Amino acid sequence: MARSPAGPRRKRRGAYHHGDLRRALVAEAARTIQARGLDSLTLRAVGDRLGVSRSALYRHFADKSALVGAVAEEGFRTLRLRLLEAWEAEGRGRAGFEGMSVAYVRFALTHPSHYRVMFGGSALVAAAPSPALTEEAGGAFQALVDAIVAQQAEGLVRPDDPLDLAHYIWAIVHGIAMLAIDGKLGRHPPGADGLVRFAAERIRSGIALRV
Amino acid sequence: MARSPAGPRRKRRGAYHHGDLRRALVAEAARTIQARGLDSLTLRAVGDRLGVSRSALYRHFADKSALVGAVAEEGFRTLRLRLLEAWEAEGRGRAGFEGMSVAYVRFALTHPSHYRVMFGGSALVAAAPSPALTEEAGGAFQALVDAIVAQQAEGLVRPDDPLDLAHYIWAIVHGIAMLAIDGKLGRHPPGADGLVRFAAERIRSGIALRV
DNA sequence: ACCTGAACACCGTTCAAGT
DNA sequence: ACCTGAACACCGTTCAAGT
């Protein structure tokens, strides 16, 4: 068949099969990870789904771990947006910060497999994260730092090193998210949300008994 | 060769090759995971190391995930001991609790691959943890609960639901451990220990500015 | 009861070849 | 430049057979 100018034009840019195979590969990999977990992700299946050979991917990624790394990057990008939305939506300050915490854990629980990949669920990615991945992760973390600095400026939070505080808070929401994903929280009332609310209050005022 | 009663007797019990192949398999798998990570664990290599066929393992475990689950169990058993040791060593109470937190994170950082396996680093194990695994994990968690109840009895900690408090504390140390393992803590002074010490103080008195 | 060894279905990756 | 298709080395798992 000769190239017909009136043929189907669903391709985004003038390339062989997909025009943007790279993007399509990341999207399909993310979909599979989300639906069936990282262990079920095979390059063959991804290729089949996209109507492409199983080795076409090597034009765009060094290997499987690079593809998974790109999925992780995309996850951090989305997470950052969710955090900023929640912070703004609840008017920043105290309520905004609690909203951010809830949004964080909720993102993790609605994308458990994706979230695990973001945090070294694959030794592949954990071993040698790309600079791009490190940067995206840093971007999401920065949303936390900024919210803490803003609260310090308003006199809502102790004037400790913002990085220490941000790492501390990150560890808490990350810990809750991971334990919840692993089903280690047992029967906590309204899922992990209850623990997040409990944590928000304890984070603010501590667990020690005032004397 | 006939069975010689004067032959080598290094076998623990009168069985074919190992006397206790099950235990040997778990030990060897744990060693490999610790040394080279879960992704590098192959049943073939484990068998070779033990001088046994690659399918001998199926006499003792349903499949690879069951073997990995047994490794995770062993990890929770060790973790529980470390926590209790630290709690007792520092005279319980406030110092004992901080010692426990440090011990927790230190265990995770000295056995990063093993620790990851304990917390669903393998979708295999996370999907369907055995009752035995759930029980061992619960045992380690109970060490935390007990320490909190003891502190409540001494008036050191708020009289909240001990389970809520324990989940909260667990999330913090787990979060710190995971972020540290993933290298997401950047250049924190003396490793993760610094963050644990910082966290211990914030856990007690909160991050809010007293008015 | 416990283990072997061959076979099966399935991987990620490479590479010469096509267009 | 981008993709194909056959080949390679390596998996976990099964199963009839041995002792």
pLDDT score at A1 = 31
Predicted pLDDT at B4: 30
The pLDDT assigned to A210 comes to 63
pTM here is 0.89
The nucleotide lying nearest A15 (C-alpha to C1') is D2
Alpha carbons B121 and A120: distance in angstroms, whole number = 9
Q: What number of C-beta contacts closer than 8 Å exist between A and B?
A: 145
Cα of first residue to Cα of last residue in chain A, in angstroms, is 86
How far CA A142 is from CA of A135, A146, A158, B146, B195, in Å, comes to: 10, 6, 18, 37, 18
- Spatial CB neighbours of B7, under 8 Å, sequence gap ≥ 6: none
Is A142 within 8 Å of chain B by CB? no
Q: pLDDT tens string for chain B (211 positions)? A: 333 332 222 333 334 556 788 999 999 999 999 999 998 999 999 999 998 888 889 999 999 999 999 999 999 999 999 999 999 999 999 999 999 999 999 999 999 999 999 998 776 677 778 899 999 999 999 999 999 999 999 999 999 999 999 999 999 999 999 999 988 887 655 568 889 999 999 999 888 886 4
- What CA–CA distance (Å, rounded) separates A33 from A16? 26
DSSP-derived 3-state class of residue B208: strand
Question: Does the beta carbon of B208 lie under 8 angstroms from any beta carbon of chain A?
Answer: yes
Arithmetic mean of pLDDT, A15-35: 84
Please name the residues between 33 and 52 in chain B that touch chain A, using a CB distance below 8 Å: 37-39
Q: What is the pLDDT of residues A184-201, one digit of tens each?
A: 887 655 568 889 999 999
End-to-end CA distance of chain B: 85
Instruction: State yes or no: pLDDT of A9 exceeds 90.
Output: no
What pLDDT is attached to residue B191?
A: 65
What is the average pLDDT score of chain A? 86
Across A131-135, A181-185, A206-210, B134-138, least confident range: A206-210
CA distance A1 to chain B (A): 46
- How many other C-beta atoms lie within 10 A of the C-beta of residue A92? 17
Asked whether the beta carbons of A108 and A164 are under 8 A apart, the reply is no
Question: Does residue A128 register a pLDDT over 70?
Answer: yes
Q: If you ran DSSP here, which 8-state letter would residue B8 be given?
A: -
Under the banding of pLDDT at 50, 70 and 90, the label for residue A183 is confident
Pairwise CA distance, residues A117 & A121, whole Å: 5
Over residues A78-106, the mean pLDDT reads 96
Q: Say yes or no: A207 contacts chain B, CB-CB below 8 A.
A: yes
